């Protein structure tokens, strides 16, 4: 029995802990959640995560949800996933960075990629998407400026923040977000793609995607 079980779906934000678990060389297994079958809203899954979303990480202490919490938990359990801090303010700033991804960027990603869940009718749906793209530009400028010419979010040392912004970039570029103004973020994403942990995570997602396709349950990844 693996130490951890990650409930995940290909292309979803569960990619963040998936990359993290590979990076940590953790002992874990992945359980595919079939969105198109509504598995995430069924009692067997809601017992683990009543919010009916991925990711959910099963630990020896029970299930843990929310990317920010999973990131902080894994970083406390394994070395090399987030910077070590010695002051309260530095620690809080790491939470702020992770929360920026989950509470500011991710909701805009959702409005860009699945606006049909936020509005009814063609025009309203198009408007939700358009406004999300407009709102994403200043936030992407924050990411771009923060990366600057650094290799990773925190400088020379990789962290979970890099996995998080990598997933956001994948989702927004897959949704047609204009990328010309964000060369640092684009270069960061290209660097991420060369990392073995990222490649292992993507291979695993492609396997999950192939299973969904074989079952006729595959939304397009991207
Ligand atoms: N705040 C949560 C958001 C999780 C979330 O929205 N997950 C999406 C996938 S990216 C999901 O499961 N969507 C399915 C649904 O809401 O029905 C986190 O950061 O973990």
- Of the pLDDT bands very low, low, confident and very high (cuts 50, 70, 90), residue 176 is confident
Measured in angstroms, how far is the CA atom of residue 149 from the centroid of ligand 1?
A: 31
DSSP type of residue 30:
E
CATH number at residue 187: 1.20.1050.10
At residue 187 the predicted structure's pLDDT band, cuts being 50, 70 and 90, is very high
Question: Same domain for 191 and 92?
Answer: yes
Instruction: Note down the domain range covering 167.
Output: 88-195
CA distances from 2 to 10, 91, 139 (A): 21, 30, 38
Residues making up the chain, counted from first to last: 222
For residue 32, what pLDDT is reported? 98
134: in domain = yes
Residue from 7, 6, 9, 5 nearest 114 by CA: 9
Interval 45-74: pLDDT, tens: 999 999 999 999 999 999 999 999 999 999
Would the CB of 49 count as within 6 Å of ligand 1? no
**Contact in structure between 163 and 199 (CB atoms under 8 Å):** no
Q: Is this prediction's pTM over 0.95? A: yes
Pairing of strands 28-32, 56-59: unpaired
For the chain, how many structural domains are there in total? 2
Q: Domain check: are 21 and 50 in the same one?
A: yes
Same domain, 67 and 113: no
Do 109 and 52 fall within a single domain? no
Residue 221 lies in a domain: no
CB neighbours of 124 closer than 8 A, spacing ≥ 6? none
In tens, the pLDDT along 95-109 reads: 999 999 999 999 999
- Region 88-93: mean pLDDT is 98
Ligand 1: does its nearest atom lie under 6 Å from the Cβ of 54? yes
Measured from the CB, is residue 66 less than 6 Å from ligand 1?
Answer: yes
The answer to whether residues 19 and 93 belong to one domain is no
Q: Is residue 144 located within the same domain as residue 170?
A: yes
**What are the angstrom distances between the C-alpha of 105 and each of 90, 115, 135, 144, 202?**
21, 15, 9, 13, 21
pLDDT tens-place string over residues 100-145: 999 999 999 999 999 999 999 999 999 999 999 999 999 999 999 9
Strand 4-8 relative to strand 28-32, pairing:
parallel
- How far apart CA 222 and CA 114 sit, in angstroms, is 12
- The CATH number of the domain holding residue 68 is 3.40.30.10
Does residue 3 carry a pLDDT above 80? Answer: yes
């Amino acid at each position: 029995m693996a130490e951890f079980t990650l409930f995940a779906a290909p292309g979803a934000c569960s990619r963040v802990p998936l990359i993290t678990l590979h990076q940590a060389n953790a002992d874990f297994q992945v359980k595919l959640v079939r969105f198109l079958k509504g598995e995430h809203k069924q009692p067997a899954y809601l017992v683990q995560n009543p919010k009916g979303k991925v990711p959910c990480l099963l630990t020896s202490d029970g299930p843990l949800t929310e990317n920010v919490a999973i990131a902080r938990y894994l970083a406390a359990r394994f070395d090399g996933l987030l910077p070590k801090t010695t002051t309260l303010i530095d620690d809080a700033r790491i939470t702020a960075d992770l929360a920026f991804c989950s509470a500011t960027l991710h909701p805009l990603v959702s409005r860009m990629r699945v606006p049909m869940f936020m509005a009814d009718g063609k025009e309203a749906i198009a408007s939700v998407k358009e406004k999300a793209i407009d709102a994403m530009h200043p936030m992407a400028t924050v990411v771009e400026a923060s990366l600057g010419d650094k290799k990773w979010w925190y400088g020379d040392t990789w962290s979970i923040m890099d996995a998080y912004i990598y997933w956001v970039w994948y989702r927004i570029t897959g949704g047609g977000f204009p990328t010309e103004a964000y060369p640092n973020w684009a270069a960061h994403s290209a660097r991420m793609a060369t990392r073995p942990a990222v490649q292992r995570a993507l291979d695993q997602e492609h396997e999950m995607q192939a299973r969904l396709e074989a079952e006729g349950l595959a939304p397009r990844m991207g």
